[in-house]
Structure 1
Amino acid sequence: MIRIGANPICWSNDDKQDIGGDISLEQCLSEAKAIGIEGMELGHKFPREADALRPILAAHGLDLVGGWYSTFLIERDAEEELKQARAHIDLLKAFGCKVFIAAECTRTIHGTQSAPLSTRPVMSEVEWGRFTTRLTELADYLAREGLTLVYHHHMGTVIQTEAEVDRMMEATGPAVKLLLDTGHITWAGGDPARLARHYRDRIAHVHTKDVRPDVAKQAAAEDWSFLDSVLNGVYTVPGDGAIDYVAVFREIPDYSGWIVIEAEQDPVKAPPARYVKMGFDNLNRFIDAAGLKR
Structure 2
Amino acid sequence: MKAKLGMSPIAWWNDDLAELSDDVSLEECLRQSRSAGFTGMEMGRRFPSDPDVMLPILREADVTLCGGWFSGTLVDEEMARNKDRIQPMIDLFKAVNAPCIVYGEVGRSIQGDRSKPLATKPKLSGDEMKAYARRLTEFGEWCAEQGMPLSYHHHMAAVVETEPELDAFMRHSGEGIPLLLDAGHLAFAGGDVLRAIDNHHKRINHVHVKDVRMGVIDSLDRTRQSFLDAVALGAFTVPGDGSLDFGAIVQRLADNGYEGWFVVEAEQDPKKNPPLKMAQVGYKELMRVMTASGYTVETQGFPNA
Fold conserved between structures, TM > 0.5? yes
> How many Å separate the matches in 2 of 1:15 and 1:185?
20
Residue in structure 1 matched with residue 202 of structure 2 by the alignment: 201
Matches within 5 A, 1:188-267: 188-220=189-221, 223-253=224-254, 254-267=257-270
Shifted more, 269-278 versus 43-52: the winner is 43-52
Tell me the equivalent position of 2:164.
163
Q: Provide TM-score, normalisation by structure 1.
A: 0.96
Note the 1:1-294 alignment, pairs <5 A: 1-220=2-221, 223-253=224-254, 254-294=257-297
Listed one character per residue, the Cα deviations across residues 224-250 of structure 1 (whole Å, up to 9, x for unaligned) are: 211111111111101211111121122
Q: Report if aligned partners of 2:40, 2:64 keep a CA contact under 8 Å in 1.
A: yes
Is the CA contact 2:110–2:116 (under 8 Å) kept in the aligned structure 1? yes
**TM-score, structure 2 length as denominator?**
0.92
> What SS class does the counterpart of residue 123 from structure 1 fall into?
coil
CA distance in 2, matches of 1:152, 1:221: 22
Structure 1 residue identity aligned to 2:284: D
1:238 aligned counterpart, secondary structure: coil
Partner SS for 2:70 = strand
- Checking the alignment, whether the CA contact within 8 Å between 1:77 and 1:134 is kept in structure 2 is no
Q: Secondary structure at the match of 2:201?
A: coil
Q: Which deviates more from structure 2 when the two are superposed, residues 166-175 or residues 15-24?
A: 15-24
Distance 1:222 1:125 in 2: 24
- For the residue of structure 2 that corresponds to 1:179, the secondary structure is strand
Q: Residue by residue, what CA displacement relative to the aligned partner does 1:56-91 show, whole Å, maximum 9, x if unpaired?
A: 111111101110001111222333321221111111
Moved over 4 A (4+): none
C-alpha separation between the residues in 2 aligned to 1:274 and 1:293? Answer: 24
Cα displacement string for residues 151-176 of structure 1 (whole angstroms, at most 9, x for unaligned residues): 10111111110011100001001121
Shifted more, 144-153 versus 184-193: the winner is 144-153
Give the number of equivalent residue pairs: 294
Cα distance in 2, alignment partners of residues 115 and 64 from structure 1: 33
Question: Partner amino acid for 2:130?
Answer: G
Distance 1:266 1:12 in 2: 10
Name 2:303's counterpart in structure 1: none
Q: Percent identity?
A: 40
**Structure 2 spans left out of the alignment, 5+ residues:** 298-305
**What residue ranges of structure 1 are gaps of 5+ in the alignment?**
none
CA distance in 1 between partners of 2:119 and 2:44 (Å): 27
Q: CA RMSD in A?
A: 1.5
Alignment deviations for residues 188-245 of structure 1 (CA, whole Å, 9 cap, x no partner): 0001111112111111000011111110011246732111111111111012111111
8 A contact 2:209–2:262 mirrored in 1: yes
The Cα shift of 1:130 comes to 2.6
Higher relative contact order (CA 8 A, sep 6+): 2
Distance 1:15 1:192 in 2: 26
- Residue of structure 1 equivalent to 2:302: none
